[in-house]
């Protein structure tokens, strides 16, 4: 790190759990973010601010007026623009040293597998079970750590799935049967700050995995009931019969 970087990330480097070694690992990381909506926006901005070296942004959608209530990387002037390009511009304002790769398309099959394999970590910020299951399969196949988040109405959850650890469950261990694809914010609503809270937790967990410090949510599901502002943590066991990660 140069002098400017030492100053920029000094508040993190001061933490004994992070130190220079952890910050250098963060700077050297390549992270794939799938979905630049309510969750992906705070994830991308906080990871850029924290010094992640390269962010790969994957989202085929364009900014709509209804997105602005919660998707904080986009503004009024971005309506009609690709979300990945709008997010990339916001990232550049926060940290121009972070390299950004924009993928304005839906990742699937070999393209998804290739992007997951080239990343140090993946953040699932998507909004449907089909995509989540596909990301999970790719992460298990390549042994790439996955930080999964979801938020709807006034409820949210975060978990870390890391196939590098033999006892770590995968997303399919938790949701072996796909949920309702219609369970979306457009159909059910969501309170604006909730996605910020969940996305921030995802970013925090990603930094812990990348910098190899703290105790990530590996094998645990963290759930938030924002109505009563209560957090719950449940232990997740690996399913030996899982069709994705089972032996």
CA-based torsion, 127, 68, 32, 113: positive or negative: positive
pLDDT of residue 186: 61
pTM of the model: 0.94
Domain 20-235 has CATH 3.40.50.720: yes
How confident is the model at residue 200, as a pLDDT? 98
pLDDT value of position 77 = 97
Which of 8-12, 86-90, 128-132, 182-186 is least confident? 182-186
DSSP states along 51-90: T-SEEEEE---B--GGGGGT-TT--GGGTTSBHHHHHHHH
CB atoms within 10 A of CB 63: 24
Output 47 or 177, whichever has higher pLDDT.
47
Other beta carbons within 10 Å of 66: 11
Average pLDDT of 88-105?
97
Mean pLDDT to the nearest integer, 207-221? 96
pLDDT band at 177 (very low <50, low <70, confident <90, very high): confident
Q: Given a cut of 60, is residue 180 above it in pLDDT?
A: no
- With a cut of 60, say whether residue 52 has pLDDT above it: yes
Q: Are 52 and 211 in contact (CB under 8 A)?
A: no
Neighbours of 71 (CB within 10 A): 26
């Amino acid at each position: 790190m140069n002098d400017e970087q030492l100053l920029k990330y000094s508040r993190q480097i001061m933490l004994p759990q992070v130190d220079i070694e952890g910050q250098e690992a963060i700077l050297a990381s390549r992270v794939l973010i799938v979905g630049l909506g309510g969750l992906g926006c705070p994830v991308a901005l906080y990871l850029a601010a924290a010094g992640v070296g390269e962010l790969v942004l994957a989202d085929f959608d364009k900014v709509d007026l209804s997105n602005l209530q919660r998707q904080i990387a986009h503004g009024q002037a971005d309506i009609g623009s690709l979300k990945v390009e709008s997010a990339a511009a916001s990232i550049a304002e926060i940290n121009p040293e972070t390299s950004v790769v924009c993928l304005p398309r839906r990742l699937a099959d070999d393209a998804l597998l290739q992007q997951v394999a080239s990343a140090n970590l993946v953040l699932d910020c998507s909004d449907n079970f089909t995509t989540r299951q596909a990301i999970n399969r790719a992460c298990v196949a390549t042994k790439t750590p996955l930080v999964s988040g979801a938020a709807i109405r006034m409820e949210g959850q975060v978990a870390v799935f890391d196939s590098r650890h033999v006892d770590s469950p995968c997303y399919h261990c938790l949701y072996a049967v796909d949920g309702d694809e219609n369970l979306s914010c457009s159909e059910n609503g969501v309170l604006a700050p909730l996605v910020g809270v969940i996305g921030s937790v995802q970013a925090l967990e990603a930094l812990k995995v990348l910098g190899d410090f703290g105790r990530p949510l590996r094998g645990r599901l963290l759930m938030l009931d924002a109505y009563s502002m209560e957090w719950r943590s449940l232990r997740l066991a690996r399913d030996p019969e899982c069709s994705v990660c089972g032996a």
